[in-house]
A and B are shown apart, each in its own frame.
Chain A
Amino acid sequence: MTPAVEFNAVSRHFGTVKAVDGVDLTIAEGAFFAMLGPSGSGKTTCLRLISGFEKPTAGGIRIFGQDVGAVPPNRRNVNTVFQDYALFPHMTVRDNVAYGLMVKGVDRRSRLEKAEELLALVKLPGYGERKPGQLSGGQRQRVALARALINEPRVLLLDEPLGALDLKLREAMQDELKALQKRLGITFVFVTHDQHEALSMADSLAVFNDGRIAQIGTPEDVYSRPQTRFVADFVGSSNVLPPELTAALGGPSKWASLRPEAVRLVPMGHDGTVKTVRYLGAGSRVVLEIGGTEIAAMVPAGQPIPETGAQAAIAFDPRALHVMAE
């Protein structure tokens, strides 16, 4: 099967800044693919390379096997949901959604019918007459989604699609986007800096750091078996153990990662001092200092929580200790 998107040693440098630097990437057709990374890591530039708003300074990009080096954005059958939605403020919601068909020359009646269909798909039927300025953030986002889907793109790009929404709406939208992607079968590529979002929505993801891909795999892979210290720290904030401490805790003398939820506080064991305690609702995150390294432990609600400055010890299942290559 031809992959939906292929990057072959793609770089995008802005002067001395290497926004994207030698990225190889394959996104399978029908995937829900996440590009995860901190701001400035190159994930958004990668998205813009797919849509054509950035041109690679080196390397080649293929969309469904076809080289797009010389193809401008308007001829790529790829549509984008922009971070700020970029709805046209002077047009009604219906005209916004129908815009893609209008520029294709589809007659007014059929394109407005289709727009109404898509508004129903994103659960905004009857909103066609309104102007974008009269909608809430969540509604605008749905309109942006409908507008991007009307051309039936082969790949849908989403740039921090849920970034501007409040927590509750964000969770509801996550489920909806996932369901929509399953139903339409379109390849979704979305950019986010939120590891929970990436882990819960994507079926495969790439973690970006400094313009390069640090790790690529399924959420399970990336979360449980981080290959680098950066990935361990960034995806779900794992504890990163230096080789000496790993050895002291009974592992090999190598860098290792240890998930906070695998760490238990016990009366006896490897001693440390409690530095901070943060209450998170479902539990508390207790950070201890052991041999100069900070180790976080998740203490479920209902269990005793030590005071700051107290001595405490940790224990964990040795299988939870994940040894990393670097």
Chain B
Amino acid sequence: MLGTPAILPERGIGDRLTALFWRRPRVLLALLLIPPLVWLGVVYLGSLVALLLQSFYSIDEFSGVVKQEFTLKTYAELFRAQNLDIILRTVLMAALVTLASAIIAFPIAYYAARFARGRWKAVFYLGVMLPLWSSYLVKVYAWKLILAREGILTWIADHAGAGPLLARALDEQWFGGASLSTSPVGTFIVFVYIWMPYMILPMQAALERVPATMLEASADLGASRAQTFRSVILPLALPGIVAGSIFTFSLTLGDYIIPQIIGNSARFIGLAVYQFQGTAGNLPLAAAFAVVPIMIMLVYLGIARRMGAFDAL
């Protein structure tokens, strides 16, 4: 159009800011980054450092007062049989929960990524997210009822003729108990249930990014379904599986509510931290216990990296 100006007039503060950000792109970047950096740097990392410091202090066994001197004594205490027990139990539980979550989540995530379209995709997201909308405590207590001796699982087992089998399993000293709700098996089931969405969602996102032609190329070159799964799908979905497992693994490592409500009151790391900083008043040992999951996660990520989990990122 002839007659319109070559440069349009400024329309106020919005245009002035746009012009500023165009001339100096770094200003916008700084404005965007400063609040989260303050949060991350001061509030988050700061408290983490404070926690680390605490773990290098020790407690006076007679007076119960924290001695603010640098020592590794508290860490040495972690290796006492009863404390080591807690750590090993927690790591084993976290590993089993992660493994079970991955195995159960995979078909669901695969279906959602490859086959679900339109309405079914919405149903999938709703189904996976719905449990996250209700209170964690309510869900755990609901599971206590489900797993109770009079609960529906035992009832189903009895009516399906698997009652004796369940009773035999619960007799097992290693993971059994008076009922499912007071046995480690119960703890395991509830952990898997509660953390499942955190495994499904990243897995589904990773699987969605594997192009369908990749799978066709594999079949085209002569691979069976199992070979395609092993050589193409699994390596390409690995970042998602690792991301999901970081959630399930670290959440299990730190949780202190589920083992309190469901299970045989054997202690887990989270519960130990809770008790040492609370009733026992041993803040240094609680801090040392809290460092354990961090170290375990670092080792875990190191292994995942070695396995090439992040190569495709």
Interface residues of A (CB under 8 A from B): 51-53, 72-75, 78-80, 82-84, 86-90, 99-100, 102-104, 147-148, 151
Q: Is the CB of B236 within 8 A of A80?
A: no
| SS of B interface (majority) | helix
Interface residues of B (CB under 8 A from A): 211, 213-214, 216-224, 227, 231-232, 235-236, 308, 311-312
Q: Is the CB of A86 within 8 A of B219?
A: no
* Cross-chain pairs A/B with CB under 8 angstroms, 9 sampled: A53-B219, A75-B222, A80-B216, A80-B217, A84-B211, A87-B217, A89-B312, A90-B236, A90-B308
Question: Which residues in A have their C-beta under 8 angstroms from that of B218?
Answer: 88, 99, 103
The one of A75, A86, A151 in contact with B211, judged by C-beta atoms closer than 8 angstroms, is A86
Q: With A82-B213, A86-B213, A90-B308 as given contacts, are A72 and B219 in contact (CB-CB < 8 Å)?
A: yes
Question: Which residues in A have their C-beta under 8 angstroms from that of B235?
Answer: 90
The one of B216, B232, B311 in contact with A73, judged by C-beta atoms closer than 8 angstroms, is B216
Q: Is the CB of B214 within 8 A of A104?
A: no
* 13 further contact pairs, Cβ within 8 A, besides A82-B217, A88-B232: A51-B216, A51-B220, A73-B219, A74-B221, A83-B213, A84-B211, A88-B217, A88-B236, A90-B236, A99-B231, A100-B222, A103-B218, A103-B231
Q: Whole-angstrom distance from the CB of B233 to the nearest CB of chain A?
A: 11
Question: Which residues in B have their C-beta under 8 angstroms from that of A104?
Answer: 222
Q: With A90-B235, A99-B231 as given contacts, are A74 and B223 in contact (CB-CB < 8 Å)?
A: yes
Q: Which residue of B lies closest to A100 (CB)?
A: B221
Question: Which residues in B have their C-beta under 8 angstroms from that of A52?
Answer: 219
Alpha-carbon distance between A53 and B232 when the two chains are bound, in angstroms? 18
Q: Is the CB of A89 within 8 A of B217?
A: no
Q: Is the CB of A102 within 8 A of B231?
A: yes
Sorted from nearest, which 6 A-B pairs have the closest CB atoms? A86-B217, A100-B221, A86-B213, A103-B223, A73-B219, A90-B235
Question: Which residues in B have their C-beta under 8 angstroms from that of A82?
Answer: 213, 216-217
Alpha-carbon distance between A89 and B219 when the two chains are bound, in angstroms? 16
Q: Whole-angstrom distance from the CB of A3 to the nearest CB of chain B?
A: 21
Q: With A99-B231, A102-B231 as given contacts, are A88 and B222 in contact (CB-CB < 8 Å)?
A: no
Q: Whole-angstrom distance from the CB of A302 to the nearest CB of chain B?
A: 39
Q: With A90-B235, A99-B231 as given contacts, are A84 and B221 in contact (CB-CB < 8 Å)?
A: no
Alpha-carbon distance between A53 and B224 when the two chains are bound, in angstroms? 14
Q: Whole-angstrom distance from the CB of A95 to the nearest CB of chain B?
A: 9
Q: Whole-angstrom distance from the CB of B53 to the nearest CB of chain A?
A: 42
Question: Which residues in B have their C-beta under 8 angstroms from that of A74?
Answer: 219-224
The one of B211, B216, B221, B236 in contact with A103, judged by C-beta atoms closer than 8 angstroms, is B221
Q: Is the CB of A79 within 8 A of B221?
A: yes
Q: With A88-B232, A90-B308, A99-B231 as given contacts, are A73 and B214 in contact (CB-CB < 8 Å)?
A: no
Q: Whole-angstrom distance from the CB of B307 to the nearest CB of chain A?
A: 12
Q: Which residue of A lies closest to B232 (CB)?
A: A88
